[in-house]
């Protein structure tokens, strides 16, 4: 398979996953993420996510370090006059906590990060879409990681990588890392600098407050002389499908992507776990089996299976985005197209550490032996398991219904109040 950007087959690209809270952080790490990105309240493009406090950063870094993963702090909003002191405190705290890098595009934030001495990854909000822009930021702001503009095609990514040597020199060009969004929600304004939410709701997308009015249903017409001259479209014409690159992941890697970013700091833990797992499996299979004589057939079967699994979690239908050129045709979606539904099952009443057994209350629905459940808790984090044994009053049972309190063998320590879910 010819490499568009000449990427070494020995290089294994980074899988970068979102973390909107500690449960999602745990899900990303358990799924095999090489790095996670997170935001602090009031200073990132997902103000609607739970987000973290500044004091949480040391804990985040410790958790990541246990899994050999890096932690990136998103500071990718615009900053107004008078906010420099708050930004400086956050940057100093990030450096002290051992955060690997910050993601930013405001030049004031980038300059301040340089002064404090913490690496910067250029946000996709900067719309770096050519080698000249990449080289300029690299020379003037010592940036070595670039999240390219969403508009970039596979061919443009390969060309950017190829052209950097001439602009920066071969040695400096080798230090440049290219990051691309590989999966998740897409904005109708592409790189996200949208004013629709600000205009209609008074909430600025550029401050991370977007209320997503684009996801509503509209009738759009071109009105001339007081009358509609023609109808542009109806329905969810401004609500793009989700990006999914699993179908052509090898082409994205060969084009020169060094990091594959999963969008979703507003999504839940099972989304983070399932999507991260899928991309880790696909990335690893490609790295380890690409020279196999049956690679094309085996990889195609794996990718189909992984995409099918991803259809079980929240999605708006899948699109290839701009990687194959400008999207045309059926690229919008009315909403969630997930094929399975997460439902509340119950909560943990007690945990008996010597037995490795949890007593759980079935608050809703029912569960049978062999079913998969998901457990979430602020301290416990994220646990996904199959029920292998279940008892009621010391007697084995194979079914538990609403209102029952049963004992279940579990692989890790659980806490009282941990929530338990199942999937329909």
Distance CA 109, CA 87 (A): 7
For residue 348, the domain's CATH number is: 2.40.30.10
Instruction: Please state whether the predicted TM-score (pTM) of the whole model is above 0.85.
Output: no
Positions in the chain whose pLDDT score sits under 50:
1-10, 229
User: What are the tokens at 199?
Assistant: 């205009």
Task: State pLDDT tens for residues 202-256.
Answer: 777 666 676 777 767 777 666 665 655 455 555 666 777 889 999 999 999 999 9
Query: Long-range contacts: 94-97, Cβ < 8 Å, 24+?
Result: 94/57, 94/118, 96/58, 97/57, 97/58, 97/60, 97/61
Pair 61, 206 in one domain: no
In this structure, are 296 and 406 located in the same domain?
A: no
pLDDT of amino acid 10:
46
Q: What sign for the dihedral angle of Cα 276, 278, 283, 289?
A: positive
Domain identity same for 172 and 214: no
Residues spanned by the domain of 386: 342-423
The CATH number of residue 163's host domain is: 3.20.20.70
Predicted local distance difference test score (pLDDT) of residue 6: 39
Query: Do 69 and 138 share a domain, yes or no?
Result: yes
In this structure, the answer to whether residues 226 and 358 fall within a common structural domain is no
pLDDT of residue 221: 66
What's the token pair of residue 265? 């700091």
- 163 and 278 housed in the same domain: yes
Per-residue model confidence (pLDDT) at position 78: 86
pLDDT digits (tens, 9 = 90+) for 16-66: 999 999 999 999 999 999 999 999 986 755 555 577 999 999 999 999 999
380 in a structural domain: yes
DSSP state of 40: B
Phi, psi of 232 (to 5 degrees): -75, -40
Residue 314 lies in a domain: yes
Q: Which two tokens stand for residue 401?
A: 């219904």
């Amino acid at each position: 398979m010819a490499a568009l950007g000449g990427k070494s087959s020995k290089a294994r690209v980074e899988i970068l996953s979102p973390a909107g809270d500690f449960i999602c952080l745990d899900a990303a790490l358990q799924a095999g993420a090489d790095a996670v990105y997170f935001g602090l309240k009031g200073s990132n493009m997902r103000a609607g996510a739970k987000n973290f406090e500044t004091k949480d950063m040391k804990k985040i870094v410790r958790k990541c370090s246990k899994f050999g993963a890096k932690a990136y702090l998103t500071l990718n909003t615009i900053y107004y006059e008078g906010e420099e002191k708050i930004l400086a405190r956050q940057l100093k705290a990030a450096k002290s906590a051992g955060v690997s890098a910050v993601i930013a595009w405001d030049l004031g934030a980038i300059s301040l990060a340089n002064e404090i001495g913490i690496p910067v990854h250029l946000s996709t909000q900067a719309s770096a879409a050519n080698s000249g822009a990449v080289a300029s930021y690299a020379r003037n702001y010592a940036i070595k990681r670039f999240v390219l503009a969403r508009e970039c095609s596979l061919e443009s990514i390969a060309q950017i990588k190829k052209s950097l040597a001439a602009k920066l020199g071969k040695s400096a060009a080798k230090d440049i890392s290219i990051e691309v969004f590989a999966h998740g929600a897409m904005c109708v304004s592409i790189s996200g600098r949208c004013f629709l939410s600000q205009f209609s709701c008074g909430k600025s997308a550029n401050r991370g407050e977007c209320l997503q009015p684009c996801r509503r249903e509209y009738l759009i017409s071109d009105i001339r002389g007081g009358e509609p001259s023609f109808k542009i479209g109806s329905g969810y014409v401004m609500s793009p499908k989700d990006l999914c690159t699993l179908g052509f992941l090898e082409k994205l890697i060969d084009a020169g992507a060094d990091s594959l970013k999963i969008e979703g700091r507003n999504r839940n833990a099972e989304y983070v776990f399932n999507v991260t797992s899928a991309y880790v499996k696909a990335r690893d299979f490609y790295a380890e089996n690409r020279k196999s004589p049956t690679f094309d057939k085996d990889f195609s079967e794996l990718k189909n299976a992984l995409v099918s699994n991803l259809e079980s979690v929240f999605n708006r239908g899948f699109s290839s985005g701009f990687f194959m050129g400008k999207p045309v045709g059926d690229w919008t979606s009315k909403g969630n197209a997930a094929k399975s539904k997460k439902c509340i099952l119950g909560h943990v009443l007690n945990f008996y550490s010597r037995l490795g057994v949890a007593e759980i209350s079935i608050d809703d629905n029912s569960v049978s032996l062999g079913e998969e459940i998901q457990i979430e808790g602020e301290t416990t984090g994220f646990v996904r398991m199959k029920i292998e044994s279940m008892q009621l009053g010391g007697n084995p049972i194979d079914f538990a219904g609403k209102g029952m309190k049963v004992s279940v063998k579990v692989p890790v320590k659980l806490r009282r109040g941990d929530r338990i879910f199942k999937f329909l």
